[in-house]
Amino acid sequence: MTTTVKQLLNAKHSEIFSVTPDSLVIDAIRMMNEKKVGALLVMEGDELSGILSERDYTRKVILNNRSSSATLVREIMTSELKTVNTSQTLDECLVVMSKNHIRHLPVVDEDNTVGVLSIMDVVKSIISDKEFIIEQLEHYITDTA
């Protein structure tokens, strides 16, 4: 049983939280706190421009003594994005995240941004899939013994 990005997004029922490149970093951080997320997509209209994560904030604002109230999202966002589409598997997502040392992965289908996956979303789902397989094997073994 291999779960796809589409299946996870359907089960997750989450909305996309985003800011614009011209938003102030302080407003983006407040939104992350309010929505209890570790990253926001950066959108210009319907176009995905980047992603802003807590990691971006700590490394590019805090460590450089910049002001959250005077810094624009465009100045610190990650604009070289790795994305996946809804037909990819969660195992493929995990490989992309691991290889690129990222914790959030935008989902794009036919130039439309349809969601974002966190490393926790992917790991929880993969563990759930593995537990299901183990349970099925245990039933098979006890039923045939």
For 113, the 3-state DSSP assignment is strand
Q: Note the residue count of the chain.
A: 145
Q: Report pLDDT digits (tens) over 46-61.
A: 999 999 999 999 999 9
pLDDT confidence of residue 132: 67
Helices (H), the chain: 5-12, 25-35, 54-60, 73-76, 90-100, 119-144
Split at pLDDT 50, 70, 90, the class of 125 is confident
CA–CA distance, 94 with 41 (Å, rounded to integer): 19
Q: Report pLDDT digits (tens) over 73-93.
A: 999 999 999 999 999 999 999
Which pTM value belongs to this model? 0.84
Total domains present in the chain: 1
Measure the N-to-C terminal CA separation of the chain; round to a whole number of Å: 24
Which CATH number fits the domain that encloses residue 9? 3.10.580.10
